[in-house]
Amino acid sequence: MMNIFRAWRSKAAIPRLSSVIAMSLLALSNGCALFKPVQAEEHYYLLTAKSLSYVATQGNGRACVVRLLPVEVPDYLQTEDMAVRIGTNQIEFTVYHQWAEPLEAGIRRVIAENLRVSPQIREVLTDEPSPRQEPVYEISAHILACEGNYINGRGFITFGATWEISQSGPQAATLAHGVYYAPLTNWHAGDYGELADQTSQVLNEFSQFLAHTVSEQAMAHSVR
């Protein structure tokens, strides 16, 4: 009699055990999001033109037409992940904090938008044909660094680029070139929205530098 009772209890336990296993599997499949750590949620950021306070005018008639060539970035920045330098030779890529577009495309877009509202620039071309019988000044930029830094307990933004201004056309010639390093901008490490905002501000200042430089070159060239 005892053996019959044990057999019955074992058979009755099988459905209960199966139910427990099924519920556990369901919880794992549907509950992953519940137990997903907050930092595992992906966030996307855009660079934004900051010089909206400019008044777009043609100034004293010396405003010029420029073409902004595609921007080049180093290989280590050709990724969607934001880069943070945490040591002299160590880079951390923030998997869950990413640029919403390729960094080189975002930098070019923002510089072009900033140049378009500069009173020193009448028109900004990117990929469209050049106007006929009018000098066009080409701007090229190669980014050397564009990332957050967290070194010795301090967070800041690093930005550097080489630049070149040339005149297109039959008499194409390089008019000016150099290296631009932005002043170090403070950044609260871990705040990636601020990293995007501060980088946008740095690009605004770089755009103003380019607008001023190309305007000087255009005026100097027209005097000759």
Q: Which residues pair with 159 in a beta bridge?
A: 146
Identify the CA nearest to 182 among candidates 164, 211, 216, 156: 156
DSSP state letter for 39: G
Indicate the residue type of 151.
Answer: I
Residues 16, 124: one domain?
Answer: no
pLDDT at 69 over 50: yes
Q: Identify whether residues 30 and 83 lie together within a single domain.
A: no
The 10s digit of each residue's pLDDT in 27-65 is 444 444 333 344 578 999 999 998 555 444 444 446 899
Q: pLDDT confidence of 219, banded at 50, 70, 90?
A: confident
pLDDT of residue 58: 42
Number of domains observed in the structure of the chain: 2
Q: Are 213 and 140 in contact (CB under 8 A)?
A: no
Neighbours of 168 (CB within 10 A): 16
Q: How far apart are CA 201 and CA 114, in angstroms?
A: 11
Cβ 114 vs Cβ 58: under 8 Å: no
Q: Which amino acid is at 2?
A: M
Q: Give 192 or 13, the one with higher predicted confidence.
A: 192
Q: Could you tell me if 19 and 108 lie in one domain?
A: no
Query: Looking at the predicted structure, is the pLDDT value of residue 125 above 90?
Result: yes
**pLDDT at position 198:** 95
Q: Quick one: three-class SS letters along 71-88?
A: CECCHHHCCCEEEEECCC
Instruction: Give the per-residue pLDDT at 62.
Output: 63
The Cα–Cα gap between 22 and 94 comes to 36
* Residues 30, 2 share a domain: yes
pLDDT of residue 183: 92
Give the CATH number for residue 213: 3.40.50.10610
What is the average pLDDT value for the chain, to the nearest integer? 81
Nearest to 162 by CA among 145, 138, 184, 183: 145
Tell whether 97 and 18 lie within a shared domain.
no
What pLDDT is recorded for position 51?
59
Residue range 143-176, pLDDT digits in tens? 999 999 998 889 999 999 999 999 886 667 899 9
Domain match, 1 and 49 both: no
**Residue type (1 letter), 72:** E
Please compute Rg for the chain using Cα positions: 28
**For residue 216, what are the domain limits?**
42-223
Judged against a pLDDT cut of 70, whether residue 75 lies above it is answered with yes
